[in-house]
Amino acid sequence: MPVIRYRCDGCQLDLKRDGSNHFIVKIEAFAAAGKLEFNEEDLQRDHAAEMETIIRNLACTSPDEIEDQVYRSFRFDLCPECHRSFLRHPLARLIEERRRS
């Protein structure tokens, strides 16, 4: 039977299997709902043609890219020190990656 090893996703510290020295952080990112009001112009548009265009575009797009446009979830196992750091600066990794690009 394989042994599950937990490591901190921040610093790679080995974490105890009983959870006594680690935190789980879950993040969900999903598309915000669009407008919920319709006007006369919306009702008169050619929705079939719009759907065909969307389907054509989806056929040329990877499933991961499609999913990223709708929903993505993340789970991180963190040691107490990395957890404290995350709570102080939850978007630090995102900001660092944007600076590099």
Judge whether 36 lies within some domain.
no
Half-sphere exposure (Cβ direction) of 100: Cα atoms closer than 13 Å: 6
Tell me, yes or no, whether 77 lies in a domain.
Answer: yes
Residue 76 lies inside a defined structural domain of this protein? yes
Query: Quick check: 78 and 6 in contact, CB under 8 A?
Result: no
Query: In this structure, is residue 73 part of a structural domain?
Result: yes
pLDDT of residue 67: 86
49: containing domain: 6-31+44-100
Query: Is 26 inside a domain boundary?
Result: yes
Confidence at residue 48, expressed as pLDDT on a 0 to 100 scale: 92
pTM of the shown model: 0.68
Task: Give the chain's domain count.
Answer: 1
Show pLDDT as tens, one digit a residue, over the chain (101 residues): 677 788 999 999 999 888 788 999 999 999 888 778 888 888 888 989 999 999 998 899 998 888 888 899 999 999 999 999 999 999 887 788 788 87
Assigned domain for 37 exists: no
